[in-house]
Chains A and B, each alone.
Chain A
Amino acid sequence: MNDQRAAFFQQCDANREHQRLAGIASWAAFSARWRARQGLPLLHALDVQYLTPADFCRGNGRPLPPAEQRRRFREYVQAAIDQAAVLEARGGVRRRAGLLSGDLAFVRLHGFAYRVEFQRDFLYGRPDLPSWDEENLSPRRPYGIPATVWLRAAPQAYWIDPDHAPPDENEDW
């Protein structure tokens, strides 16, 4: 597994195009963090992908109250989802040779889509049943399973078989 990762990183390091896009992404991340810490608006809503709620500060660099940080983060994520949907509806972002602004738009949109796709907080329904199954159309509790790890690494949700479940401690209550 580590060999695979090392080989993948070596491949990326050797690819000049990849390095160019990574460089632009790092500039966008610098800008997003610096702006959030200064209490300034982000250059682009999709730049929220480089932030956490805790990055949002007042103009003097002191953190906002946690509830305000979360609210601001949610607003940016919603705006980013809306913008990404508009861009995708227009046929996505096409890169044109020699234009770095095109690369910047590409990095922003694809980085955001990648994160939203694979870093959801909950798995809904049962992956072992088709989407039209009654259980997935109107799932019984639990409605969602918290996903505490990256979903790509752990795509399976496990259900306890009632026949083999441990006895409920409050069964006799």
Chain B
Amino acid sequence: METFEELVDTINMALDAGDWGTVVLLTLTLYQEAMAMGEADLAELVKDLHCIAQDALVHPLEVARVLQP
């Protein structure tokens, strides 16, 4: 079982690698944990990340354009 911090790190690594499938799965867990810890602001952000990752699986090129620095 990963700690909260480890989960955040793993998601960041998946984002770096463009592994959107993993981001979709892990953000679900992180969202639940954030809500359970009362981290409402962070939970909202994680929910957005989850939706972005889902979008990226369907429209990878469009999402890559949105997220490029």
Supposing A34-B66, A99-B39 touch, asked if A23 and B49 sit within 8 A by C-beta, the answer is no
> In the complex, how many residues of chain B place their beta carbon closer than 8 angstroms to a beta carbon of chain A?
21
In the complex, whether B41 has a CB less than 8 A from a CB of chain A is: yes
In the complex, whether B8 has a CB less than 8 A from a CB of chain A is: yes
Binding site secondary structure of chain A: helix
User: Is B66 in contact with A101, judged by CB distance below 8 angstroms?
Assistant: no
Q: How far is the CB of A73 from chain B (nearest CB, A)?
A: 17
User: Is B45 in contact with A31, judged by CB distance below 8 angstroms?
Assistant: yes
The winner among A34, A35, A43 for most chain B CB atoms within 10 A is A34
Which residue of A20, A31, A44 contacts B49 across the interface (Cβ within 8 Å)?
Answer: A31
Give the residues in chain A near B41, CB-CB below 8 Å.
43-44, 101, 104-105
What are 22 residue pairs bridging A and B, where the CB atoms are less than 8 Å apart in the complex? Answer: A23-B8, A26-B15, A27-B45, A30-B66, A31-B45, A31-B48, A31-B49, A31-B52, A33-B66, A34-B48, A34-B51, A34-B52, A34-B55, A34-B63, A35-B48, A37-B66, A100-B39, A101-B39, A101-B42, A104-B42, A104-B45, A105-B41
In the complex, whether A80 has a CB less than 8 A from a CB of chain B is: no
Q: How far is the CB of A23 from chain B (nearest CB, A)?
A: 5
The winner among A26, A34, A100 for most chain B CB atoms within 10 A is A100
A40-90 interface (Cβ within 8 A of B): 43-44, 61
User: Is B39 in contact with A43, judged by CB distance below 8 angstroms?
Assistant: no
Give the residues in chain B near A109, CB-CB below 8 Å.
none
Supposing A37-B66, A99-B39, A105-B41 touch, asked if A43 and B12 sit within 8 A by C-beta, the answer is no
Give the residues in chain A near B67, CB-CB below 8 Å.
30, 33-34
Contact with A along B17-35 (1 / 0, CB 8 A): 0000000000000000010
Query: A31 vs B8: C-alpha distance in the bound complex, in angstroms?
Result: 16
In the A-B complex, the 4 residue pairs with the smallest Cβ-Cβ separation, listed nearest first, are: A31-B48, A101-B41, A101-B39, A101-B42
In the complex, whether B57 has a CB less than 8 A from a CB of chain A is: no
Give the residues in chain A near B34, CB-CB below 8 Å.
100
Instruction: Return the chain A residue nearest B44 by Cβ.
Output: A43
Give the residues in chain A near B63, CB-CB below 8 Å.
34
Apart from A31-B52, A34-B48, list 18 A-B contacts with CB within 8 A: A20-B8, A23-B8, A26-B15, A27-B46, A30-B49, A30-B66, A31-B49, A34-B51, A34-B55, A35-B48, A37-B66, A43-B41, A43-B48, A44-B41, A61-B62, A100-B4, A100-B34, A104-B41
